Amino acid sequence: MHTGVQMKYVSRLTTPDARVGEDESSLLDHCGFAVRRKNKRSDGMGTKEIPAEGMVCLLAAAAVIWIFGRIIRKRKFARDYPYEKKMLLTAAEYRFYKVLKEQCDRHRLLICPKVRMEDFLSVTDRRNRNRYREFIKSRHIDFILCDRDLHMLAGVELDDASHNTPAAERTDAFKDHVFKKIGLPLYRVPAAPGQYTARIRKIIDELI
């Protein structure tokens, strides 16, 4: 009698664990995973092995989630449009522009402000095109002077205090070399409002 109660008690303890193990194994097998059953003679920790097919499924799912996340973020940024307008020229550039325009109007010259270098330059080295594009695609010239048919005559840079840093000096030297290469003058005007008129007149006299 005592033995029967003991057997019944053991059966109640082992049966649910076995059923859970079978359910777990069935679920993992359905998802493409293989389970190594616990060895009763080991330390009881057990191990699980994920086959190559399961790893491929996991990586594919992660890739899909990542792609959809990027799409959603891009759509959100596109909807937000976090921009506002600002002045095309700084206050110092605009003061210079008004004097420059007054003198250019007298000689029927056109002024194109803030022109990106890539808009009037093309890279001749086709093999290293992207490398050389990096130097011109984000840099601009303060003012480009043109004739009435928009043929470029010269560039004009207003050199204020921001041009005194080592990085700015390297950029200025690069621009100087580029204009020399394309056969156009690049004039540099110090940011001194009282001297603008005389300096601009001298530039125009050299061009016409």
pLDDT tens for the 208 residues of the chain, in order: 454 444 444 444 444 444 444 544 454 454 444 444 444 444 455 555 666 777 888 888 888 888 877 877 776 666 778 889 999 999 999 999 999 999 999 999 999 999 999 999 999 999 999 999 999 999 999 999 999 999 999 999 999 888 889 999 999 999 999 999 999 999 999 999 999 999 999 999 999 8
pLDDT value of residue 164: 85
- Alpha carbon of residue 165 to chain centroid: 25
Domains of the chain: 2-80 (no CATH), 91-207 (3.40.1350.10)
Q: Mind listing the pLDDT tens digit for each residue in 66-102?
A: 887 787 777 666 677 888 999 999 999 999 999 999 9
pTM tops 0.75, yes or no: no
Phi first, then psi: what are they for 74, rounded to 5°? -65, -40
Residue 88 in tokens: 């095309």
Q: Of 165, 164, 119, which Cα lies nearest the Cα of 138?
A: 119
